[in-house]
Amino acid sequence: MAIVKKKAAPKKSNTIKLKFDTEWTYAPAPESRSAASIKPRYELFINGEWQKPQGRKYFATINPATEEKLSEVAEANEADVSKAVEAARKAYDKTWKKMPARERAKYIFRIARMIQEKARELAIIETLDGGKPIRESRDFDVPTAANHFFYYAGWADKLEYAFPNRRVSSLGVAGQIIPWNFPLLMAAWKIAPALATGNTVVLKSAETTPLTALKLAEIIQEADLPPGVVNIISGAGATGAAIVNHPDINKIAFTGSTDVGKLIQRAIAGSHKKATLELGGKAANIIFEDAPIDQAVEGVINGIYFNQGHVCCAGSRLYVQESVAKEVIRKLKDRLETLIVGDPMDKNTDIGAINSKQQLETIHKYLSIGKKEGAEMYESSCPLPRKGYFCRPTLFTNVAQSNRIAQEEIFGPVLSVLTFRTDDEVIEKANNSPYGLSAGVWTDKGSKIFNMTRRMRAGVIWANTFNKFDPTSPFGGYKESGFGREGGLHGLLPYIELG
Ligand code: NAI
Ligand code: MG
């Protein structure tokens, strides 16, 4: 890696300080945009073909780091949704349901391999469309998406071993609605288990990040999947609602906000539709005084600033034991200063662009709420690019448990720091949240880890690490974080009926 040494201006009186004033910066290392092809316009992928939207409406998707338009995509209306559901139903009845499971597995394996082959292009498009650092798209989103397809391809012909002595049957057509924070990965989380269990799919991408799902549609077409098995459409809330309300959908899989999750639950109440909802979170990340502090600080940084904090399981509430609070806060502030904020396409960038203007406004709203509530705000002193939607990594100290910044999901690079004295106190505080998706515990003692994980109401609890994902491991929440699990053996259950 090229390192450019900037010489500090010589100081007249303090020669010792001169040594520490020397500033090191990374030379820019931008990924090349030319390795990705983005069409000026995308249609809807229905029944294995690219079909024009019946309402003839298109909407632009922009690059949030530059505000430039990348492409325009079709907006599916109710009639398009019906067409997609019909195609999925036909493919289910005529082909997919009847196909031997080992044959279905081959298609899923093929998709996984093609994602790997096109990994670089997918990573570039993910970063351009959504603003996340290329390092994350390249090293996390795309490989994890491929791994999900590999993993579930493996289960396709082994369902009788997954659920011994039970008769496993598929459900039919799955309607799947995904968010903008991990567009390709969420598509993989949804599509792979549905296909492995013999269901067909209608998937809607999120409005600000439709492009990698459309690239995935190209891959699915190239993989020669029977027409209609996977249909990928774009659109906003109304399109999502049309999927939810369609009478011929058997299962809804949704990841997104708790508000929309509640709407969906209301809409399908009393119907035959099965559902999994993966909603918001406000994870407690807990540092005990016996924890390896430097490692914990790194984990906290990764826990909240990964993907600009647009992560449902982000460690957004930090609880530090009082005896080490001063040290932890000082180290966090120091580390904040070293985070590189800027061009998401640069391989050195730690924090890219906020996904949309709307999300940036939400984050700014919470920054002023935090200040008004009396918390002390600290932000990195880094410069921000003039164009695009950017936010400095920020933390709040002197936060009270009842503050909105400790209770509500901000979904940005903003950490709330609270303190505690005893185990009982921190469990009480950690569980005092409408959410229950994830949590983290940092301590040297195994017994403490078990005690905490048993008493905390969170679907995923990381110990001495954070934000670790694996297709073999189930993920999902309690309370207002939703229900149902994705990933692992558990991730098969929402897509099957057991006889
Ligand atoms: P959202 O919940 O509106 O969007 C998620 C998906 O749901 C998108 O594909 C959207 O088009 C679709 N949708 C919207 N209204 C719908 C409806 N009535 N029926 C069916 N589908 C519908 O989330 P939004 O507005 O983008 O973000 C707002 C907040 O939600 C964020 O600030 C964040 O706190 C939270 N959020 C949480 C996510 C998570 O991973 N748990 C992901 C995205 C947002
Ligand atoms: Mg975009």
For ligand 1, say whether the CB of 362 is within 6 Å of any of its atoms: yes
Q: Whose CA is nearest to atom 36 of ligand 1?
A: 257
| For ligand 1, mutation pick of 186, 212, 255, 260 (most atoms within 8 Å of CB) | 260
Q: Is 51 in the pocket of ligand 1 (CB under 6 A)?
A: no
pLDDT in tens, 446-457: 999 999 999 999
If you ran DSSP here, which 8-state letter would residue 486 be given?
Answer: B
8 Å CB contact between 340 and 348? yes
- Written as six digits, the tokens of 105 are 């597995």
pLDDT digits (tens, 9 = 90+) for 408-436: 999 999 999 999 999 999 999 999 999 99
Structure tokens of 159?
């369902």
For residue 241, give both structure tokens. 């609602």
Does residue 148 have a pLDDT over 80?
yes
Query: Distance between CA 298 and CA 464 in Å, rounded?
Result: 10
| Closest-lying ligand 1 atom to the alpha carbon of residue 243 | 20
**Tokens 């999120």, located at residue:** 206
Average pLDDT on 125-129 reads 98
SS3 assignment, position 56: coil
Q: From ligand 2's centre to the CA of 129, what distance in Å?
A: 4
* 409 in contact with ligand 1, CB cutoff 6 A: yes
Give the model's pLDDT for residue 24. 75
For 100, 154, 215, 235, 499, the CA distances from 164, given in Å and listed in that order, are: 19, 16, 37, 40, 11
Q: How far is CA 392 from CA 277, 308, 338, 415, in A?
A: 31, 9, 12, 12
From the CB of 480, is ligand 1 less than 6 Å away?
no
Residue with CA at minimum distance from ligand 1 atom 10: 237
- 215-243 mean pLDDT: 98
Distance separating alpha carbons of residues 43 and 133, to the nearest angstrom: 27
Question: Quick one: average pLDDT of 227-237?
Answer: 98
The arithmetic mean of pLDDT across residues 138-145, rounded, is 98
Q: Which residues of 382-399 are buried (b: 16+ CB within 10 A; e: fewer)?
A: beeeeebbbbbbbbbbeb
DSSP assignment letter at 480:
G
Mark whether 43 is an active-site residue. Answer: no
**Strand-pair category, 376-379 with 44-46:** unpaired
pLDDT tens by residue, 76-108: 999 999 999 999 999 999 999 999 999 999 999
> Is the distance from the beta carbon of residue 280 to the nearest atom of ligand 1 less than 6 Å?
yes
For the Cβ of 75 lying below 6 angstroms from any atom of ligand 1, the answer is no
The answer to whether residue 46 scores a pLDDT higher than 50 is: yes
78 is catalytic: no
> What does the pLDDT read at residue 26?
87
State the CB neighbour count (10 A cutoff) for residue 270.
Answer: 7
Catalytic residue among 278, 409, 480, 486: 278
pLDDT tens digits along 4-31: 444 444 433 333 344 555 667 889 999 9
Q: Quick check: 397 pLDDT over 80?
A: yes
Contact present, 43 and 52 (Cβ < 8 Å):
yes
Q: Is pLDDT at 242 greater than 60 in this prediction? A: yes
CA dist 21 and 390 (Å) reads 27
Supply the DSSP string of 330-344, one letter for each residue.
HHHHHHHHH--BS-T
**Residue 410 · residue 395 · CB < 8 Å:** no
Ligand 2 centroid to Cα of residue 449, in Å, is 40
Tell me the per-residue pLDDT of 187-201, one tens digit each, with 9 for 90 and over. Answer: 999 999 999 999 999
Mean pLDDT value across residues 281-304: 98
Give the C-alpha separation, 14 to 369, whole Å.
42
Q: pLDDT tens digits, residue range 342-378? A: 999 999 999 999 999 999 999 999 999 999 999 999 9
The DSSP letter of residue 490 is: G
Q: How many CB atoms lie within 10 A of CB 267?
A: 15
End-to-end CA distance of the chain: 57
Contact 183, 206 (CB under 8 A): yes
Q: What is the pLDDT of residue 6?
A: 47
State the average pLDDT for the chain.
Answer: 95
CB distance 435 to ligand 1 below 6 Å: no
How confident is the model over 216-223, as a mean pLDDT? 98
Average pLDDT, integer, range 306-332: 98
Considering 31, 43, 75, 312, which one is annotated as catalytic? Answer: 312
pLDDT > 90 fraction of the chain, expressed in percent and rounded: 95
Candidates 257, 282, 358: which one to mutate for ligand 1, based on the most atoms within 8 Å of Cβ?
257
- For the segment 25-51, the average pLDDT, to the nearest whole number, is 96
**What was the pLDDT predicted at 22?**
62
